[in-house]
Amino acid sequence: LKEYMTRAVSASPEHPVLIDKFLDDAIEVDVDALGDGEQVIIGGIMEHIERAGVHSGDSACSLPPKSIHPDIQDEIRRHTVAIATALNVRGLMNVQFAVQGDNVFVLEVNPRASRTVPFVSKAIGVPLAKIAARIMVGKKLKDLGLTKEIVPKHVSVKEAVFPFNKFPGVDTLLGPEMKSTGEVMGIDDNFGIAFAKAQLGGGMRLPRRGKVFISVRDDDKVAATFVARKLYRIGFQIVATRGTAHCFEERQIPTEVVNKVQDGSPHIGDQIKSGEIAIVINTPEDTRSQADSYAIRRCALDYQVPYFTTMAGADAAADGIEFLLQCDFEVKALQDYEAPVLP
């Protein structure tokens, strides 16, 4: 905090620093909507895979939402309509929410098109930007044939694309600063396959067997246990550093213990380089472990091993792998998915 304050004051000494309350373990939600001054239509409700705290542009997201209760979704719809009506929005609007338990918080409202509009348009089969442009020159939603929210029967997953392989010194750890330079999407009948397709589109092929290395901070160990048990159940071997391995073994998950990089060879970096590790799941504990964690993540990137720096992302990957083991996915053209017919 002291470092951030020092940098902020030196960069702009005449302006105050805004400090927001952080919502721990909250799910972030993006909503794109259209308004014409009389009516508001929800374009899409997207649930972020990574928890609040990761920049919205870097987080994967699912449309329709993967885990948000329908009652909470209805509350989000009501808030969105109320905000758009109060602002008299004519065209596109984006609202970012955070869901913490049963509580819904509004993070920000943008009366404009957001970066998610192309994704939502492809997911629901409606050209939202074109409709918004027509509204801005006087058309009404009912004239354009859009009178209610379109909820697709399939699942669409958006994934961020990162340029880490072009910048050797950049850490792959996700945070509040946006690092992605592009996006891809995957579509299928279920979330797992759609997520796997999105990963493939972004250059990450999810393996179906092998060893999974897991090293996480204390706050993530409960979530890591669920992921480890899921991966072990579908045939993966679990490898972990001493602290994480102890947590798994207490919960009857067989685990191979491996040294951290700082503990000396043979360590996890050696196993990654030799091709023994199929997936890396790593969340750093604190500044003392940052260097070791960075070395692990960078090694995974350099040797093209799929890696995840959030437990939510790792859990989604486990779901994807589980579905891939049951059946391979089909490749279909975007036009083959059902889309409404608009005038």
What is the pLDDT, as a whole number, of residue 341?
56
What token pair was written down for 265? 């060879």
Express each pLDDT in 238-268 by its tens digit.
999 888 999 999 999 999 999 887 777 888 8
What is the pLDDT, as a whole number, of residue 319?
93
What is the pLDDT, as a whole number, of residue 219?
87
Work out the pLDDT band at 291, boundaries 50, 70, 90.
low
Q: How far is CA 39 from CA 43, 72, 328, in A?
A: 13, 22, 42
> Pick the residue with more confidence: 333 or 91?
91
What is the pLDDT, as a whole number, of residue 144?
93
The mean per-residue pLDDT over the stretch 309-338 comes to 87
| pLDDT surpasses 90 at 210 | yes
The mean per-residue pLDDT over the stretch 17-45 comes to 89
What is the pLDDT, as a whole number, of residue 287?
53
Give percent of the chain with pLDDT exceeding 70.
96
Burial of 170 (0-12, 13-18, 19+ CB in 10 A): middle
What does pTM read for this prediction? 0.86
Q: Could you please report the per-residue DSSP string of 67-80?
A: S--HHHHHHHHHHH
| pLDDT surpasses 60 at 343 | no
Average pLDDT, the chain: 89
| pLDDT surpasses 90 at 135 | yes
Strands 155-161 and 277-282 come out as unpaired
| pLDDT surpasses 70 at 290 | no
The full set of domains in the chain, from first to last, is 25-204+325-343 (3.30.470.20), 207-305 (3.40.50.1380)
What is the pLDDT, as a whole number, of residue 186?
95
Q: Which residues of 263-283 are buried (b: 16+ CB within 10 A; e: fewer)?
A: eeeebbbebbeeebbbbbbbb
What is the pLDDT, as a whole number, of residue 139?
95
Express each pLDDT in 48-76 by its tens digit.
998 777 888 888 999 999 999 999 999 99
What is the pLDDT, as a whole number, of residue 265?
82
Could you count the other beta carbons within 10 Å of the beta carbon of residue 171?
A: 17
E-strand ranges in 77-149 read: 90-100, 103-110
* Encoded amino acid at 39, one letter: Q
What is the pLDDT, as a whole number, of residue 10?
80
Q: Tell me if 301 sits within 8 A of 171, measured CB to CB.
A: no
> Pick the residue with more confidence: 169 or 64?
64
Indicate the range of 21-25, 137-141, 290-294 predicted with least confidence.
Answer: 290-294
What token pair was written down for 170? 């950049």
